[in-house]
Structure formats: C-alpha cells, structure tokens
Amino acid sequence: MMSTLTSSSAPSSGDVHARLVALLDGSGVPYRLLYHAAEGRSEHVAALRGTAVEQGAKALVCRIKLSANKRLNVLAVFPADMRADLDAIAAAAGGKKAALATRDFARALTACEIGAIPPFSFNPDLQLIVDESLGLRHDEIVFNAGRLDASIQMRARDYLALARPQRAVLARPALAPGP
C-alpha cells in the first residue's frame, strides 16, 4: 500500500516546510512550530527543542530490493532513540533486503537534507512505513519540519490519522553507550 499525501510529483527543493505547514493548518489538528539552531542529530535537536529524544520521529529513506531488478523506496519512521532494523524494514515492505539510500538519492526523493526529513511522504515514489511503537511512550511526537532549524510538535494520534501510514516493527532499542 502506497501512502502519500498529495501531488503527482516530488516537491521542489525548499517547499517541503511550506507544504507541511499548509497540510497541518488545513487539517485543523493542533501543533506547535518550533524554531531552533540548525541541527539534524536526534540527541542534539531534542536538547534544543526541550523534548525527550524518544519523542522524536526519525525518518530514514531506504531502498528495498524486491527482486533482481526491482527496487522500492521507503520512508521508514521510528522513535529517535531506537535503531533502524533493516531486515524488519525489508520484510515490512515485502522485500528481500533493505539499505539506506545515499544522501543524494534521499535528497532527490524528499527535497530535504538528511536530518531535516519530516515523517510524511509528499512523493508517490516513496512509501511511508511507521514503527508500531511510535507514540506509545509519549502522547506527543516531535519531528523535523523539512528544515534543520524547524520542528513540529503534535499529538501522535493526530500524526497517524493524517499520514495514514503502513504500520510495522521497524526498529530495535539502541545499544547503550559504553563507559
């Protein structure tokens, strides 16, 4: 099942933030737009936002191998304090193997820099799959708003209702840092 929001083509560079805000404004769901220093790393941006790392919705672009010559592009979204499980992402997408997309390919599909990708797909060539645990530990999630210096905080249930993603197990707990 392909889950995209609107448009028959990928957004041009620079308008993802505006499209995201317009989508949220048009939906009538409450949200907070947070501006902060430019940062794409989950732990650092959580500190700037004043939110818990596990509230973050991290979005990764993955390439899924379906067959010898067929690939699927997936936007995998999961809590920012967890690690992507590429085998689980491949299985959720019906594929054999998953790999992270290159920086340039991810930018081409999302029109965003790595670290600024929101958990919404505005591109019909990018399937949205969200980890089943997103929103279970906190009522609100927070995520990059298409820019490294802007984030959106909203209720997880509103995000899930608006994005209508496929749900699956995509991540596992991150290993604790060493001494």
Helices and strands (H and E) in the chain: how many: 5, 10
Is 16-173 a domain of CATH 3.90.960.10? yes
**Model confidence over 141-177: pLDDT tens digits?**
999 999 999 999 999 999 999 999 999 999 999 865 5
**Model confidence over 37-69: pLDDT tens digits?**
998 889 899 999 999 999 999 999 999 999 999
- Residue 93 above 50 pLDDT? yes
- Residue 133 above 70 pLDDT? yes
Answer whether 94's CB lies under 8 Å from 134's CB: no
pTM of the predicted structure, to 2 decimals: 0.88
Q: What percent of the chain has pLDDT over 90?
A: 82
The residues spanned by each domain of the chain are: 16-173
3-state class (DSSP) for residue 28: coil
Answer whether 136's CB lies under 8 Å from 142's CB: no
d(CA 63, CA 72): 6
Answer whether 35's CB lies under 8 Å from 152's CB: no
The pLDDT of residue 166 is: 97
- Residue 16 above 90 pLDDT? yes
d(CA 152, CA 64): 28
Sign (positive or negative) of CA dihedral 6, 7, 8, 14: negative
- Euclidean distance between the first and final Cα of the chain, in Å? 44
Q: Label residue 103 exposed, middle or buried (CB < 10 Å: 0-12, 13-18, 19+).
A: exposed
The pLDDT of residue 177 is: 53
